Structure 1
Amino acid sequence: MTITDSGTAGASVTAWTSGAVAWLRLSVLCALLAAAGNIAGLVNVGGVYGKETSAFVDQAIAQDAVNLAVVSPAIVVLAVLARRGSLRAYLMWLGGLAFTTYNYVIYTMSVHVGPLFLVWVAVLGLSAFSLIGGLAALDVRAVGDRFGHAPRRLAGWFLIAVAALFTLLWLKDIVPAILDGRAPQSVSELALPSSPVHVLDLSFFLPAAFATGVLLLRGRPWPYTTAPGLLVFLALTGLPIIVTPFVAEARGGEPAWGVLPPIGVITIACLAVLAGLTRGATPPRRSDDARTRV
């Protein structure tokens, strides 16, 4: 069967190979396993996160809740829609996988080894391989053709601005601490040797967002394969940050309510830019010679 953006059968050019189906299926297994781990973590907070600081536990509970309520269901739904032929769903699905990979690096590297450690390792592996395989299965030129008339400039400048903003924020926390010979505040309150968020953002995510933004402005084709996923990643990243103060309040801690307005604005802006970019995708070109078996 040949798949189209609307999920109908016919002779049309698709933007990914038939090999993507295996990665879509693997991601569903990943989401189900992650959800099981999230439930276990929320039910047994003390047993899973008992060795962490109070601030860390607040963030972990918020992360588990968002993963369970939003991320895992979204990956499953987007995988189903992508399997039916939706390019928009496929590109957003990649963002959900990137978010999962990112967060399970943090789970596996920052939380003391406990009852869910091997589950987290499995989720990390499944999400990372699904993400890499899903990206490799894309036809960059076909995706670029579909998004050729999308409003790329807004998405490009937005990604550049977000990358610059968070780079400056993290450096503001890191550089003075290094000069003073102390740990950054975000590290000390979590009792970690370094911040995995700083490491992942400064080495991978923020450079990827900046490069994608620049190349979108230049009209190159391949950034269209990553821009929707990066916007999904950003929107999902904001959710546990928004939930964390409510968790802290419920647990008798000191909630950081000040993060809600800026993170809320960025999250809503991500969704708005994502909607504008993906709505600009054109239907696939029809071709009697194109056949993709799935």
Structure 2
Amino acid sequence: MAAQRTPPEPLARVTTPGSTRRARTWWITAAAAAAIAGVASGIGLAAVDRVYGRETAAFIDQAVAQDAVNLTIAAPATLLLAWLAWRGSVRAGLLWTGVLTFTVYNYAIYTMSIHVGPLFLAWVAVLGLTFWSLVGGLRALHPAVVAADLAAAPRRIVGWYLVVVGSVFTLLWLSDVVPATIEGRIPKGALELGLPSNPVHVLDLAIYLPAVIAVGRLVLLRRPTGLLLAPAAVVFLVMTGLPILVTPFVTAARGGEPAWAVMGPVGVITAVGVGVLVALLRRRSDPTD
């Protein structure tokens, strides 16, 4: 019986002492959040006018694209990765932190930008469960051991990808916000959403982009914490590109004028991110690994 309670060796190896059971608790709460998110996104797609009817056309297109990504990718990935991590997959656990980072980001936007409606409390539940699952899951991991497990990662490629992409988006958002601030008008990114400010600008400039750049810097400096957080940062950037790529198709289907021009640059950044993620998580050729 004692052997059955022993955690899988890879999992026990990368978690801090005594934290394996707590990590499993966070996988369960994250799975619950994914189930709620999946159901809520399905309802959002089935009743667009009922859920998003008070938003602008551009906002509705983005919300529908986000629901589609939540339902088909984010929620299933959270459930699958939580199960694989439960079974002892270190890399699944690291990918899981990235999907949760993406989910926290998007449900912060849902809860604070969309009019309160039938799914509001479900969105709040997803945000809360996912945020605390992410915090608890990251605290359970041992940075030095995870860094050793990812020793084959091309640190320069990973680090510079995070620094460059984070910096590019920072400059892009500032190019909208700064002129609007000087001229005393609403930024274009907020105006098309019918909001006083764009929540993407707020979250990115205040929290997410500085975090991405900081993680990239830590990777370049060969800090263990950098490699611990790098998978989450790369997954976040990759998944953030998915709704952007889906939105023009939603706009076209709804009879609007799609912004096809974003497909090229966002597609390149997303594709490069996938390649960086594969390189980051590749296993060492050392037979003892």
Task: Indicate whether the TM-score tops 0.5.
Answer: yes
- Kept in 2, the 8 Å contact 1:147–1:282? The answer is no
RMSD: 1.7
Mapped partners of 1:283, 1:45: distance in 2: 52
* Identity in percent: 52
Query: Offset at 1:282?
Result: 7.7
Query: Offset at 1:242?
Result: 0.4
SS of the residue 1:222 aligns to: helix
Match of 1:13 in 2: 13
Spell out the pairing of 1:169-188 with structure 2 (5 A cutoff): 169-188=172-191
Is the helix fraction higher in 1 or 2?
2
Query: Offset at 1:285?
Result: 7.5
Unaligned runs of 5+ in 1: 287-294
- Kept in 2, the 8 Å contact 1:38–1:67? The answer is yes
Change (3 A) 1:199 1:285: farther
Spell out the pairing of 1:270-281 with structure 2 (5 A cutoff): 270-280=273-283
Greater relative contact order, per chain length (Cα 8 Å cut-off, separation 6+) = 1
Query: Offset at 1:140?
Result: 1.3
Spell out the pairing of 1:160-239 with structure 2 (5 A cutoff): 160-239=163-242
- Kept in 1, the 8 Å contact 2:152–2:282? The answer is no
Mapped partners of 1:212, 1:243: distance in 2: 28
Change (3 A) 1:191 1:282: farther
Mapped partners of 2:105, 2:95: distance in 1: 15
The residue type paired with residue 33 of structure 1 is I
- Kept in 2, the 8 Å contact 1:242–1:264? The answer is yes
Extract structure 1 runs of 4+ deviating beyond 3 A: 280-286
Mapped partners of 1:54, 1:224: distance in 2: 40
Match of 1:252 in 2: 255
Unaligned runs of 5+ in 2: 1-5
1:3 is the counterpart of 2:15: no
- Kept in 1, the 8 Å contact 2:150–2:282? The answer is no
* Structure 1, 240-249 or 135-144: larger mean CA deviation: 135-144
Query: Offset at 1:144?
Result: 1.7
Mapped partners of 2:214, 2:171: distance in 1: 16
- Kept in 2, the 8 Å contact 1:28–1:75? The answer is yes
Q: Which deviations, in whole Å up to 9, do the C-alpha atoms of 1:193-217 show, x marking residues without a partner?
A: 1111011111111111111111111
- Kept in 2, the 8 Å contact 1:177–1:184? The answer is yes
1:65 is the counterpart of 2:74: no
Match of 1:82 in 2: 85
Q: How many residues were matched structurally? A: 281
Q: TM-score, normalised by structure 2?
A: 0.94
Match for residue 108 of structure 1 among 107, 111, 119: 111
Q: Which deviations, in whole Å up to 9, do the C-alpha atoms of 1:64-105 show, x marking residues without a partner?
A: 001000000001111111111111110110011111110000
Query: Offset at 1:284?
Result: 11
The residue type paired with residue 60 of structure 1 is A
